[in-house]
Amino acid sequence: MSKKNTQVQSDQALAADQSEVQGEGDYRAARRYREKAEAFAASGDVESAVVEAKPRTPQERTDMDAAEQEGLSHSKAKGQ
């Protein structure tokens, strides 16, 4: 196989890989997320997730509160 043929095949493989790139506005990714979120909510297992997400130590509580305040500081809806 010539060097040129190898390059063409490489370029074709790269183009095929790039056609599968998923980014912002990707409908397939949005559909997968929505389906999984709906299945989770419908499963009724939300309470265990709430318990699992609670801080385990006072330091973890402090860190979570600080992270929440940082996030809120970037929010357009202040004080919520």
pTM here is 0.46
pLDDT at 27: 87
* CA atoms of 64 and 29, how far apart (whole Å): 28
Cα 55 to chain centroid, rounded: 22
The b-or-e profile of 49-63 (16+ CB within 10 A means b, else e) is eeeeeeeeeeeeeee
Q: Which residues contact 55 (CB under 8 A, 6 or more apart)?
A: 61, 63, 64
pLDDT at 6: 54
What is the amino acid identity at position 52? Answer: E
Mean pLDDT in residue range 43-68: 92
Task: Give the pLDDT confidence of 27-50 residue by residue, as tens digits.
Answer: 888 899 999 999 988 988 888 888
What is the amino acid identity at position 9? Answer: Q
pLDDT band at 68 (very low <50, low <70, confident <90, very high): very high
pLDDT at 10: 57
Q: Where are the domains of the chain?
A: 27-73
Average pLDDT score over the chain: 79
